[in-house]
């Protein structure tokens, strides 16, 4: 049964902290306490997998691993794995924006010191044993990347081909380095586990995100090349993208690896079952990015431009039937945005997965599905997401006629455009309403997290110091209570939709 609730979208990288990026430490718990005090029952996060210097969480070399960037330095100090001298040796990085290169360098040094100070425990050995199915290959991949660079197709042949004798020699010669990468994942698991436990104690559920496709140069394509559209040497035959449309006249080449769905289906989608099962260890709800790709996806030949691509069929309902059979009542959400498609909506409904509506997209006509009075119950309503401009930035780009339509629909904007849009979202019949934290703070385009298609400057925005004031908490709580999305109201009044 879906019940009315609400939450805030904030990626952990945006939390405050002195080491160049937000962490899964005290700042994350303070954020959870703010959410609970403001009667929010959901925290939505973006993918937490490892990232490179550009910071994109949707281009990761490992879909089952957590990013060591989010390991909490404070927790390492409290556990006695770092001391004042360790911390004093590191520069305090600027806090206004995420510094990915700086944060990666600092964390690598600090985690190496923590590893040197660590004595393996029974808990650590159990973690390595329980997670060995993905953890061992992840550690090998990262060590080989350190030694040989990337992509993996250029590694020495026996290692690229995963020759058992070559891997056995690696396991022996690089034992300490391999253990360090396992240790980093152990720390991530412990620190994220502490945050999730605090969230549960406060009545806050976590929504996490699964990127549709892994990176071409990833542990997934190296460890299971048979499941991806690669040639005999491991190079991509085609990559993910999107065809030309009204938003991008040349189309988009994302560059991610594409699946061999025929082979995955022959194996009862075991790879996907393992992936979603792993994410349920992290999150209460799992959002599937680019949901339409499960029905049909755009394949761009290599080499080639986006316009040279073609549509290919995805797995359709069969994948979701297998997930339900093997994982039970896991809560999935669908990012089903993009050109309206009855087929995509039929798949979503048949799979029993709520979709998304964005009010920023709503004002193109009276029948627009994103208008709040057209929202279904089984959806998540937003003003916009991390891929959109902030509401204030979006408003600044509207024409006079567009502004007039928006104001007429909202009944005026006496509270300002951000809070007026928030009222429309919270007043929707959608069972879940989510605000990006930038809209909560009424910030402009300077706070936008991502501009799709731009290759630099994304994923760097951070929460300003002392932004979460008592006044903001009160205002958000009142809005939530007004529209029956507070936790007491949610427990009393089910939405009427049975998922």
Q: Which of 39, 90, 335, 439 is catalytic?
A: 335
Q: Is residue 335 among the annotated active site residues?
A: yes
Crossing angle for the helix pair 132-148 and 164-173, nearest 10 degrees? 80
Q: Is 289 a catalytic residue?
A: yes
Q: Buried b / exposed e across 462-477, counting CB within 10 Å, b at 16+?
A: bbeeeebeeeebebbe
Q: Which residues contact 498 (CB under 8 A, 6 or more apart)?
A: 1, 2
* Catalytic site residue from 90, 217, 289, 473: 289
3-state SS, the chain, equals CEECEEEEECCHHHCCCCCCCCCCCHHHHHHHHHHHHCCCCEEECCCCCCCCCCCCCCCCCCCCCCCHHHCCHHHHHHCCCCCHHHHHCCCCCCCCECCHHHHHHHHHHHHHHHHHHCCCCHHHHHHHHHCHHHHHHHHHHHHHHHHHCCCHHHCCHHHHCCCHHHHHHHHHHCHHHHHHHHHHHHHHHHHHHHHHHHHHHHCCEEEEEECCCCCCCCHHHHHCHHHECECCCCCECEEEEECCCCCCCCCEEEEEECECHHHHHHCCCHHHHHHHHHHHCCCCEEEECCHHHHCEEEEEECCCCHHHCEEEECCCHHHHHHHHHHHCCCEEEECCCCCCCHHHHHHHHHHCCCEEEEHHHCCCCCCCCCCHHHCCCCEEEECCCCCCCCHHHHHHCCCHHHHHHHHHHHCCCCCCHHHHHHHHHHHCCCCEEEEEHHHHCCCCHHHCCCCCCCCCCCCCECCCCCCCCHHHHHHHHHHHHHCCCCHHHHHHCEEEECC
Q: Which of 387, 407, 415, 442 is catalytic?
A: 387
Annotated active-site residue 387? The verdict is yes
Active site (catalytic) residues: 289, 335, 387
């Amino acid at each position: 049964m879906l019940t009315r609730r609400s939450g805030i979208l904030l990626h952990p990288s945006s939390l405050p902290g002195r080491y160049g990026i937000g962490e899964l430490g005290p700042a994350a718990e303070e954020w959870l306490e703010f959410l609970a005090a403001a009667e929010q029952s959901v925290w939505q996060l973006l993918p937490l997998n490892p990232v490179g210097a550009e910071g994109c969480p949707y281009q990761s070399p490992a879909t089952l691993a957590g990013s060591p960037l989010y390991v909490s330095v404070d927790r390492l100090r409290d556990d006695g794995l770092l001391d004042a001298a360790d911390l004093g040796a590191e520069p305090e990085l600027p806090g206004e924006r995420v510094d990915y290169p700086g944060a990666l360098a600092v964390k690598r040094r600090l985690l190496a010191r923590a590893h040197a100070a660590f004595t393996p425990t029974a808990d650590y050995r159990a973690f390595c044993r329980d997670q060995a199915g993905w953890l061992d290959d992840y550690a090998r991949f990262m060590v080989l990347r350190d030694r040989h660079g990337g992509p993996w197709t250029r590694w020495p042949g026996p290692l690229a081909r995963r020759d058992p004798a070559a891997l056995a020699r690696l396991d022996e010669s690089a034992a300490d380095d391999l253990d360090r990468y396992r240790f980093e994942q152990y720390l991530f698991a412990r620190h994220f586990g502490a945050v999730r436990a605090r969230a549960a104690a406060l009545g806050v559920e976590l929504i996490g995100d699964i990127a549709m496709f892994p990176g071409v140069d990833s542990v997934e394509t190296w460890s299971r090349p048979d499941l991806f559209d690669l040639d005999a040497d491991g190079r991509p035959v085609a990559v993910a993208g999107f065809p030309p449309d009204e938003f991008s006249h040349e189309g988009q080449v994302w560059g991610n690896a594409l699946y061999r769905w025929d082979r995955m289906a022959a194996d009862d989608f075991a790879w996907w079952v393992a992936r979603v099962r792993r994410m349920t260890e992290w999150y209460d709800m799992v959002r599937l990015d680019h949901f339409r790709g499960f029905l049909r996806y755009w394949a761009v030949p290599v080499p080639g431009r986006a316009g040279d691509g073609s549509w290919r069929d995805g797995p359709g309902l069969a994948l979701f039937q297998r997930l339900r059979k093997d994982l039970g009542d896991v809560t999935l959400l669908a990012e089903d945005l993009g050109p309206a498609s009855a087929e995509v909506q039929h798949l979503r409904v048949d799979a029993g997965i709520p979709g998304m509506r964005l009010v920023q997209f709503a004002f193109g006509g009276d029948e627009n599905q994103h208008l709040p009075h057209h929202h279904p119950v089984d959806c998540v309503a937003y003003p916009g997401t991390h891929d959109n401009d902030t509401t204030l930035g979006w408003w600044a780009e509207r024409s006079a006629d567009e502004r007039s339509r928006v104001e007429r629909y909202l009944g005026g904007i006496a509270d300002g455009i951000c809070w007026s849009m928030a009222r429309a979202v919270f007043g929707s019949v959608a069972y879940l309403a989510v605000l990006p934290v930038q809209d909560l703070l009424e910030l402009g385009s300077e706070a936008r997290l991502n501009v799709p298609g731009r290759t630099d400057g994304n994923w760097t925005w951070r929460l300003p110091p002392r932004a979460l004031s008592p006044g903001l908490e009160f205002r958000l709580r009142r809005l939530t209570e007004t529209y029956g999305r507070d936790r007491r109201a949610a427990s009393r009044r089910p939405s009427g939709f049975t998922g």
